Structure 1
Amino acid sequence: MSNVLTSREQDYAQWYNDLILKGGFADYSAVRGCMVIKPYGFALWENMRDQLDRRFKETGHQNAYFPLFIPKSFLSKEAAHVEGFAKECAVVTHYRLKNDPNGSGVIVDPEAKLEEELIVRPTSETIIWSTYKNWVQSYRDLPILVNQWANVVRWEMRTRLFLRTAEFLWQEGHTAHATKQEAIEETERMLEVYAEFAEEYMALPVIRGVKSANERFAGAEETYCIEALMQDGKALQAGTSHFLGQNFAKAFDVQFSTKENKMEYVWATSWGVSTRLIGALVMAHSDDQGLVLPPKLAPLQVVIVPIYNKDAGARQKIDEKATQLIKELQTKGIRVKFDNDDTNRPGWKFAEYELRGVPVRIALGARDLENNQVEVARRDTKEKSSQSLDGLTDNIAKLLEDIQSNMYQRALNYRTEHTTKANSWDEFVKLLDEKGGFISAHWDGTPETEDKIKEMTKATIRCIPLNNEQEEGKCILTGKPSTQRVLFARAY
């Protein structure tokens, strides 16, 4: 099984693809740029979705659903928005097919051209704010706290499973508020929801920050983000929360009557994370033997592998003990499987569950039962130990907590070791090429300089960290005055 995967050192990109495909997460689709999410990968997404959905509802949000198709005219109402998404839009122009008179299958019926083209949802601000116009008349109608779980299409030319596909799954929150302060507080609150989820469930330390103007969401006044670091030293944007100001309210004339009976435009936010989080999870934790999944999200947390011999009586005792263990583990909410399939040997199963990243493996044989113990292997460190069957359930629950904590700490240590200050252009370039990671450096604050740095190095400003310390310095490229450092990195 060790020969199944390309090593990270040999080819990181191929290692990633191997993991996604051979780890059972996804497959390529017949539709260019799209992917099939397989049951194991979708189970992971469901666990992510369920935890996020719970947190959204705890903060007062409700789920709704809006159309997949957006009239083209809607996108043209907000200039920055349409400019930001125009090159990624899939457009529906006709509504009917007909048989080809030449007998070559079907063709688009030229008589079925739409009066107005429809855009396949790249994001939903426009269709939602056209709806909010009908929902909002008075301050009593606010706030609106809505989230939707949906798919979106962004016509990517260069795709990569989970990280960048033409169609992907996500959630998008869209809220409406009576005041600017309420909207900003909502934007920051949801960023923290994302950050806590990433750190507590994904075991993924993140930097909370604000995007530069160049990297800001199209149509937003401010974009907040969480940025994570992958094992190859590249950054990955793991979630965004946008303060939209009154831009979309003005574009769609969404006004409300205040308590003072004055008409004002509504203040807005939007925020989202996607199946890209699965890619982040894989690249942040996994190794050359396969996936390494945090227990809180792993589709399967514990697998019990029996070690049978030819004694039928011993087999029955192993099966009975395994059944008892499953019931005990399930009472603690642990997701467990007993793999008693005879078509594969125990060694093959060990390697397979290692490849799939199952956090804990229990090997149970006749001799183990005689000694009242089992062999327990943890996926994160590959350590094995013999443990007594007495109190095993409690020990496994504690072990899962320890694995979760260890994975977070290991990722945090890596990020700390790969966050470096640069005080000159030569130092900046050398760090990018030889070490990677986050580089903390001064920037003169201009889009022109930011564009030039990106053009010369392929590094972008990942974020301006929240609560950033003020520090007098000089821009690494232009030498102009700067009052704070920002985080640069090459990124996915």
Structure 2
Amino acid sequence: MSGKGGNKQGKKQGGSKGGKQHELAITTRAEDYPKWYQDVVRFGELAEPAKVVKGCMVIRPHGYAIWEKIQRDLDARFKNTGHRNAYFPLLVPQSFIMKEAEHIEGFAPELAVVTHAGGQELEEPYVIRPTSETIIGHFFAKWIDSHRDLPLKINQWANVMRWELRTRMFLRTTEFLWQEGHTAHATHEEAIEETLQMLHVYGDFAEEVLAVPVTRGIKTASERFAGALETYCIEAWMQDGKALQAGTSHDLGQNFGKAFDVKFQNEAGDLEHVWQTSWGVSTRLIGGLVMTHSDDDGLVLPPRVAPIHAAIIPIFRKAHEKERVMEAAERLKEQLSAIDIAPERARYRDFLEVVIDDRDMRPGAKFYDWERRGVPMRIELGPKDLDKGQVCMKMRVDTPACSGKQFLPEAEFLGSVRQRLLDYQDALLAAAKARRAANTVTLDTWEEFEATFAGDESKFAWCHWDGTAETEAAIKDKTKVTIRCVPLEGQGPAAEPGTCIFSGKPSKQRVLMAKAY
């Protein structure tokens, strides 16, 4: 798939405000990948650092609109699987955090603690939530008495805070937005079923909506969520070869149930502790979206998550042409805005969002501006097009089915635009899968491993591992490579015995290794 955009004459023409922002080119991926990422986020008007609040970011309207689309789709999926939304306090009593030993140990370095309020020192400090297992456990204990109260399935859309030392917009910030699901069950089998169900909800969403291919698997013990019996994850491949943990689902066992005395009376009349799960994704998904699809010309967005689907560029040279072209643009916008691209199974409507760019700028500058914002479709409309009854359209990136500018009769264009956008969505996923496949290797020797991960280089590597924490830590210490997951069935090479790539000891199966964000 080509990453080339439209007319680049706009690079020196100024932006919507004629500002200097549009006089600057985006750093290429080959030149400086981290800088490229920051440039795409900035010029795509997704976010900017909140320098007055260390480690935080301001999500701009274009970026927040992406998060709203993520919320809308996931919320429908959660409700379709029997979950209801609730909201719990931002401040968690410090004593709650202390009740679950593994939890406090896992989050201690990242906690932000409130010690004063109203001009006085608090009797007990509050922790700004890094996650909500503890406070939700407290309320579960109040709400659950009998097996008839189970399963209890709650989701919360919220912000959380983890005091990060090294931050990068969307990928790792001190404050971020997320959702966290919390459920309680009568049996461990039900809890495991819930954990896996939500993992697959995340995986399906990533591929169907974000067009981001993911590998589903189990985290090793050292990478497990603090206080969980097992952590499941989806891992995505980024264009620099690194992995991004895009979502997690945790089997919490009875750890939090015991810590907060969450009991229920079973059918036999005996008291038992509940079995709990938690699962979550965050605004990190937007960072993964950027690094999966975007190119050296800027942001690339799949239609199902794009805030704007099409930008209409009116083109005219003479004053008397303006009224005619603008009337046609308004009519076309109205017709396009009535088209719904939501799949038939979706529980919501997704009508096309269309803008008419009537700014006083040269057309090339407008092309370049919308290109950097990742708008999937650009439509050019001028007097000659009206005379011929046609529309000139171009997709943000070329696909096998649609390359370069297309000149189509207006009726044909309107009749095909929905399918064009859905085909474009599929093409982005196919291209992402192809890039991942081209950068996935199977390694059998330590020499191959060291060569693959030399310097800043990274790939997705399937390697044998002896299953010990000592070997896992040694590999990470020597190469900065971590075990991303032990793949679920069908998500990686078939399980086969082998020899550990580092220790030479027996191995049950290959695991996914990569450097990671």
Instruction: Give the Cα separation in 2 of the matches to 1:338 and 1:411.
Output: 28
Aligned to 2:394: 377
8 Å CA contact retained: 2:339, 2:352: no
8 Å CA contact retained: 2:203, 2:214: yes
8 Å CA contact retained: 2:481, 2:513: yes
Whether 1:449 aligns to 2:474 is no
Aligned-partner residue type, residue 27 of structure 1: E
Aligned to 1:92: 114
Aligned to 2:335: 328
> Which secondary structure does the structure 1 equivalent of 2:503 belong to?
coil
Q: What are the within-5 Å matches in structure 2 for residues 110-259 of structure 1?
A: 112-259=120-267
Whether 1:38 aligns to 2:60 is yes
Q: What are the within-5 Å matches in structure 2 for residues 49-88 of structure 1?
A: 49-88=71-110
- Tell me how far 1:340 sits from its aligned partner: 4.1
Q: Give the aligned CA root-mean-square deviation in angstroms.
A: 1.2
Instruction: Give the Cα separation in 2 of the matches to 1:474 and 1:338.
Output: 58
Aligned-partner residue type, residue 162 of structure 1: F
- Tell me how far 1:342 sits from its aligned partner: 3.6
Identity, % of aligned positions: 54
8 Å CA contact retained: 1:241, 1:270: yes
Structure of higher RCO (CA pairs closer than 8 Å, 6+ residues apart)? 2
> Which secondary structure does the structure 2 equivalent of 1:60 belong to?
coil
Deviations 1:319-344 (A, max 9, x none): 22222211211111343334242422
Deviations 1:8-62 (A, max 9, x none): 0000000000111111001111101000000010001000110000100011100
8 Å CA contact retained: 1:303, 1:337: yes
Instruction: Give the Cα separation in 1 of the matches to 2:359 and 2:243.
Output: 44
Deviations 1:65-97 (A, max 9, x none): 000011111111111111000000000001134
> Which secondary structure does the structure 2 equivalent of 1:470 belong to?
coil
Aligned to 1:396: 417
Whether 1:11 aligns to 2:19 is no
8 Å CA contact retained: 2:242, 2:459: yes
Instruction: Give the Cα separation in 1 of the matches to 2:495 and 2:353.
Output: 50
- Tell me how far 1:317 sits from its aligned partner: 2.1
Q: Residues 203 and 316 of structure 1: is their aligned pair in 2 closer, same or farther, counting only changes over 3 Å?
A: same
Aligned to 1:101: none
- Tell me how far 1:311 sits from its aligned partner: 4.1
Instruction: Give the Cα separation in 2 of the matches to 1:428 and 1:255.
Output: 49
Structure 2: which 5+ runs fail to align?
1-9, 12-23, 341-350
8 Å CA contact retained: 1:27, 1:35: yes
Structure 1: which 5+ runs fail to align?
98-111
Instruction: Give the Cα separation in 2 of the matches to 1:185 and 1:342.
Output: 54
Aligned to 1:351: 368
> Which secondary structure does the structure 2 equivalent of 1:304 belong to?
strand
- Tell me how far 1:187 sits from its aligned partner: 0.3
Aligned to 2:515: 490
Aligned to 2:272: 264
Q: Runs of at least 4 residues of structure 1 off by over 4 A?
A: none
TM-score relative to the length of structure 1: 0.95
Aligned-partner residue type, residue 323 of structure 1: E
8 Å CA contact retained: 2:333, 2:356: no
8 Å CA contact retained: 1:304, 1:336: no
Aligned-partner residue type, residue 243 of structure 1: D
Aligned-partner residue type, residue 377 of structure 2: V
8 Å CA contact retained: 1:299, 1:335: no
Aligned to 1:104: none
Q: Residues 319 and 119 of structure 1: is their aligned pair in 2 closer, same or farther, counting only changes over 3 Å?
A: same
8 Å CA contact retained: 1:78, 1:251: yes
8 Å CA contact retained: 1:322, 1:338: no
Instruction: Give the Cα separation in 2 of the matches to 1:146 and 1:352.
Output: 41
8 Å CA contact retained: 1:246, 1:265: yes
> Which secondary structure does the structure 1 equivalent of 2:189 belong to?
helix
**Number of matched residues?**
477
8 Å CA contact retained: 1:90, 1:153: yes
